[in-house]
Amino acid sequence: MTAELSEPYGSPLEEPASAPTRRTFIAATTAAGGAVVAGGLVGVTPPAAAAEAAAAESPPSSRVALTVNGVRHTAVIDNRTSLLDLLREQLGLPGTKKGCNAGACGACTVLVDGRRVNACLTLAVRLEDAEVTTIEGLADGDELHPLQRAFVEQDAFQCGFCTPGQIMSGIGCIEEGHTGSHEEIREWMSGNICRCGCYVKIVRAVEQTAGGK
Ligand code: FES
Ligand code: FES
């Protein structure tokens, strides 16, 4: 006797014409999933990302009014702008040099209200009504500042990149009265690096100016 084998629910290989096949089901779900992912990445911007993009487009800015070399300036600046970048990029005063841009070399030294500061570490937005003096503000027409003259006479530079910062720092050093000896001058000028190694002559130039020679 031959047992008649029958599938109680029909053959697994035979599906009703209207039912989705395995192939069409996978294709349909893959397409739907892709659309959702694409929507998440492209079509819909998460709120945090939108806020970040908006902030990048218009960073917080402020108006600052200050006097540089006797000239009053008003500027609208990104709040993160350093005094160094304000001077060089917005006020057209490139004499102050950008060396390390991190407070380590002294190339950017300027005077703010008579005190020497590293302009790269000073936020311009904090300088409302400040008096800033840069290397461009020292000479009186063709008449050099005594320390500028001393640098020339002592041959206290080679490439000259550090020189504006050295001179501004030297003026601060003299004003502060730290010129009693070579050692004292060296100590109080130690924040100003000279890669050309002109230290001996820089000290002589500061000493010469302090002594009024
Ligand atoms: Fe400011 Fe070096 S550029 S300390
Ligand atoms: Fe060249 Fe000082 S003169 S770095």
Q: Which residue's CA is the closest to the ligand 2 atom numbered 2? A: 194
Give, in order, the Cα–Cα distances in Å from 83 to each of 1, 30, 50.
103, 56, 31
141 pLDDT exceeds 60?
Answer: yes
Could you tell me the two tokens for 183?
């050692």
Considering only CA atoms, give the Rg of the chain. 35
Which distant-in-sequence residues (6+ apart) come within 8 Å of 45 by Cβ? 53
Give, in order, the Cα–Cα distances in Å from 124 to each of 76, 83, 168, 192.
10, 4, 18, 21
Summarised one tens digit per residue, pLDDT across range 12-55 is 444 445 555 555 555 554 554 444 444 444 445 567 777 677 66
Banded pLDDT at 7 (limits 50, 70, 90): very low
Q: Which residue has the higher pLDDT, 75 or 38?
A: 75
Percent of the chain with pLDDT over 70: 76
Question: Which atom belonging to ligand 1 lies closest to the Cα atom of 104?
Answer: 4
Whole-angstrom distance, CA of residue 62 vs CA of residue 159: 37
**Matching CATH topology for 55-137 and 138-213?**
no
- Of 87, 105, 190, the one to substitute when testing ligand 1's pocket (max ligand atoms within 8 A of C-beta) is 105
Region 92-102: mean pLDDT is: 98
Whole-angstrom distance, CA of residue 95 vs CA of residue 75: 19
pLDDT number for residue 6: 41
CA atoms within 13 A on the CB side of 99: 22
Residue 85 C-alpha to ligand 1 middle, in angstroms? 11
Task: Kindly report the CATH number that applies to the domain delimited by 138-213.
Answer: 1.10.150.120
User: What stretch of H or E contains 149?
Assistant: helix 146-153
Residue 106 C-alpha to ligand 1 middle, in angstroms? 5
99 pLDDT exceeds 90?
Answer: yes
Q: Which residue's CA is the closest to the ligand 1 atom numbered 4? A: 103
SS3 state at 131: strand
pLDDT number for residue 175: 97
- Of 159, 169, 189, the one to substitute when testing ligand 2's pocket (max ligand atoms within 8 A of C-beta) is 159
Residue 118 C-alpha to ligand 1 middle, in angstroms? 6
2 pLDDT exceeds 60?
Answer: no
Whole-angstrom distance, CA of residue 168 vs CA of residue 114: 10
Residue 51 C-alpha to ligand 1 middle, in angstroms? 33
Write down the domain spans for the chain. 55-137, 138-213
Q: Which residue has the higher pLDDT, 50 or 161?
A: 161
Could you tell me the two tokens for 95?
């004499």
Region 147-172: mean pLDDT is: 98
Q: Which residue has the tokens 């908006």?
A: 54
Spatial contact of 108 and 94, defined as CB atoms under 8 Å apart: no
- The CATH H-level (homologous superfamily) assignment of domain 55-137 is Beta-grasp domain (3.10.20.30)
- Long-range contacts from 93-96, C-beta under 8 angstroms, 24+ separation: 93/68, 93/69, 93/134, 93/136, 95/134, 95/135, 95/136, 95/164, 96/134, 96/135, 96/164, 96/165, 96/168
135 pLDDT exceeds 70?
Answer: yes
pTM: 0.76
Amino acid symbol at 92: G
